[in-house]
Amino acid sequence: MITEVKVPTPGESISEVELSSWLVSDGDLVRKNQDLAEIESDKATLSLTAPESGKIELLASEGDVVKVNSVVCKIDTSVEVPEEINGDEDEAEENLKAEEKEKAPVADESGQTVSTNESQPDSDVKLTPLARKKMEAEGLNLNDVLAGLKKLTTKEIDKVIDLQDADGQLISSGGEVSRDVERKRMTQLRKQLSKRLVQVKNETAMLTTFNEVDMSALMDLRKKHQGAFVEKYGFKIGLISFFLKASAYALKMHPMVNSMIDEEEIVTPNYVDISVAVQSPKGLMVPVIRNVDSLSLAQIESALKELAEKARTGKVSLEEMTGGTFTLTNGGVFGSMLSTPLINPPQSAIIGMHNIVERPVAVNGKVEIRPMMYVALSYDHRIIDGKDSVGFLVDVKKMIENPLSMLLGGKSAEEALLGL
């Protein structure tokens, strides 16, 4: 019996997707629920899974733009799939985990982290069983593969094979300088991002206001309690979580910054769903953390870690990418000192964090060296006035510079103690 595998519907209004990569080869034996391919829409990357076990026949090529509900492969379910296939893949995964454990960094007597294998690749790299099998057949190891990838398939292995000479050695970058140019088709995600950037420029009255934040108190608080936080929750608390908490407070104080235009109406949600810009191998993605105003710092950090990892590995769902009311972006992780972030439509505002630099500042009539960060708020001036935009950043500044007040819901320690 032949089972057709069709492209699933990623969401409403999406009629076509790009088949970004096959995770299996034509003629392979596949198991039910096995990932067959990755498909990319203009908003997210999704997996195509096998509905039944059998022998697969591929009907589309990588890079093809295919219609939703079109058939991209067939599975002959009359072909029996041996149990050994499942066992072999499980064994390969276990072997990989064992190797990674052996190569894991350890702490020396000084407490510094050192590597037990200087040539080891990134410990986060994941290999599909098919990719590992092909690497072994070609005599390659992880160090030969392109750096920075978080998941390897046969597609990436083929790239390394193409770079080898007749003796199987990787071709060096020395010698004659090439003047060739590389052309590649824009992904659906990049196409949509390009359209939205132009849309912001043409359809909004975007302005940006700036302020600076003294990070001393927050960094001291974080350093003092980081150990206890890790002991209780199992992960560290990052600076972004504090800015998300502060932004949620400021959005409640300035609801117009949390608003958006819908034709001739201004829509102001009574909830705070913040989109967080994450750089992924496929481009910029903005997964959404829901109800940030009602979450604790630990809950915010947990949600942030989960969504960021999904975005980086291309596993974020369409639902997790839509519906935000405000956006936060952090150019500081790339070294940015100051920028004017672009609004993420249909939202009306975005806050930009930047790097922390020690600078001389005047404190109580004296010059002191303090860790300072510039923050920027880009906003649509059609619905957000200067009073709200400046007031929003001032409130964020107050919360970050007085983190105890932020943890107490904007109240001072005295007000909290007195129940005011």
SS3 315: coil
Proportion of the chain above pLDDT 90, given as a percent: 50
247 in Cβ contact with 351 (< 8 Å): yes
Question: In terms of pLDDT, which residue wins out, 226 or 45?
Answer: 226
Q: Which domains does the chain possess?
A: 2-76 (2.40.50.100), 122-172 (no CATH), 189-418 (3.30.559.10)
Question: In terms of pLDDT, which residue wins out, 185 or 353?
Answer: 353
pLDDT tens profile 338-381: 999 999 999 999 999 999 999 999 999 999 999 999 999 999 99
| Residues belonging to the active site | 381, 385
Question: In terms of pLDDT, which residue wins out, 356 or 121?
Answer: 356
Q: Please tell me the least confidently modeled range out of 53-57, 99-103, 323-327.
A: 99-103
Residue 398 structure tokens = 């107050």
Question: Can you tell me the mean pLDDT for 13-19?
Answer: 80
386 in Cβ contact with 357 (< 8 Å): no
Q: How far apart are CA 124 and CA 96, in angstroms?
A: 11
- Residue 318, pLDDT above cutoff 70: yes
| Residue 227, C-beta contacts closer than 8 angstroms, at least 6 positions apart | none
Question: In terms of pLDDT, which residue wins out, 192 or 64?
Answer: 64
Closest CA to 301 of 378, 393, 232: 232
Query: What single letter denotes the amino acid at residue 230?
Result: V
pLDDT for position 148? 45
Residue 269 structure tokens = 């949600």
pLDDT for position 109? 41
Question: Can you tell me the mean pLDDT for 207-227?
Answer: 95
Closest CA to 193 of 47, 42, 375: 42
